[in-house]
Amino acid sequence: MSSERLAALLDEYADLEKRLADPAIHADQAVARRVGRRYAELVPLHKAAGELAQARADLAAARELAGEDSSFAAEAESIAVTLPALEERLAELLIPRDPHDAKDVIVEIKAGEGGEESALFAGDLLRMYTRYAERRGWLVEVIDAQDSDLGGVKDVSLAIKTKGVPEGGNGVWSRLKWEGGVHRVQRVPVTESQGRIHTSAAGVLVLPEAEDVDVTIDPNDLRIDVFRSSGPGGQSVNTTDSAVRITHVPTGIVVSCQNEKSQLQNREQAMRILRARLLAAAQEQADAAASDARKAQVRTVDRSERIRTYNFPQNRITDHRIGYTAYNLDLALAGDLDGVLDALAEADRAARLSGDTELTRR
């Protein structure tokens, strides 16, 4: 256990507590939210350190009193038994955590191989994440969506947010950060007349939503084009050029939005996605020497590079990275994702405790 790191974090906690007690900080809600999130992250550490310090003080006092009164010997022994668990908890909290854990996210879901069936499955994933967010009390905002002819989605971007400051600094990213990758489905498509099982896939990309302070964008680096919005099959749904395409020239990142009725609104939504993508790109560059869970997200929708399989005939959901399998696919698609997400979180915790920064993969 690093006493220097513990002392530094407790000092930071005390400083943040003072800042939040100052009414002036609330004049800038963005700063107040950022400070509040960091404070919430350190609350469990402060509590664990206090409990351990108190237990050690109680143990010392009981042992001292046991010299005069033997009845305190049993109390000292019972206190001593609790110390290993308290020390382990504090040691776990001292392991550097993902700096984005408290953040909200932008989720992008794209249909891939499988044609219309893939678009229908992408729609299933959209509903799954929306229902899971509702269970957690999170807010969901569809930023942009391109529907398919049969009611699926070709491409959708949505923002998922916590209400207020997340408890313990565990925001949406801390739960959904492992969802990025290729999701494979095995089922009989509605378009299949002979009852044969088909395999198709959809890609999911999860990005921590960037704040203005996270990413600096030079307006001169942007090329902004406007065009007419279109619906399924290319049918015009807008008679004005309100859709916006933003190209970040230095990186080549392109973002398009057409859901809103005004060009200004579409531009604002596109900039949100662009900031998130630039933040993820900057993180990848910073971590270029060591792979991590975010870097491992698959950007192409190739069925062979899947992270998870949804098998409808067997009602089975399998996460291939950790060997997790459950036969409750119907519940998972209805938003009951805690089983697989808890398993992923536990695998990550075990990896971090062992000094491995990459989630176990198969």
User: In angstroms, rounded to a whole number, what is the distance separating the alpha carbons of residues 274 and 95?
Assistant: 31
pTM to 2 decimal places:
0.75
User: Considering the chain, what percentage of its residues have pLDDT values greater than 90?
Assistant: 55
Whether the CA torsion 24, 28, 29, 34 is positive or negative: it is negative
User: In angstroms, rounded to a whole number, what is the distance separating the alpha carbons of residues 115 and 121?
Assistant: 10
| Position 358 pLDDT exceeds 90 | no
Q: Which amino acid is at 198?
A: H
User: For residue range 344-353, what is the model confidence (pLDDT) as tens digits?
Assistant: 999 988 888 7
User: For residue range 21-61, what is the model confidence (pLDDT) as tens digits?
Assistant: 999 998 888 788 889 889 988 999 999 999 999 999 999 99
Q: What is the pLDDT of residue 213?
A: 65
Q: What is the pLDDT of residue 357?
A: 58
The architecture of the domain spanning 105-212+297-354 is 2-Layer Sandwich (3.30)
**Domain 219-289, CATH class in plain words:** alpha beta
Q: What is the pLDDT of residue 359?
A: 60
Query: Around Cβ 237, how many Cβ atoms within 10 Å?
Result: 11
Query: Domain spans of the chain?
Result: 1-94, 105-212+297-354, 219-289
Q: What is the pLDDT of residue 229?
A: 72
| Position 236 pLDDT exceeds 60 | no
Paired sense of beta strands 105-111 and 153-161, if any: antiparallel
More confident residue, 256 or 192: 256
Of 134-143, 196-205, 239-248, 271-280, least confident by mean pLDDT is 239-248
Section 121-130 average pLDDT: 96
| Position 133 pLDDT exceeds 90 | yes
Section 131-136 average pLDDT: 96
User: For residue range 103-125, what is the model confidence (pLDDT) as tens digits?
Assistant: 999 999 999 876 889 999 999 99
pLDDT averaged over every residue in the chain: 86
Angle (CA) 173 177 181, round 5°: 150
Whether the CA torsion 188, 191, 193, 198 is positive or negative: it is negative
Angle at which helix 3-21 crosses helix 71-94, to 10 degrees, equals 80
Section 285-314 average pLDDT: 63
Query: Around Cβ 2, how many Cβ atoms within 10 Å?
Result: 10
Q: Which amino acid is at 118?
A: S
Assigned token pair, 256: 């398009």
Confidence tier at 301 by pLDDT (50, 70, 90): very low
Confidence tier at 233 by pLDDT (50, 70, 90): very low
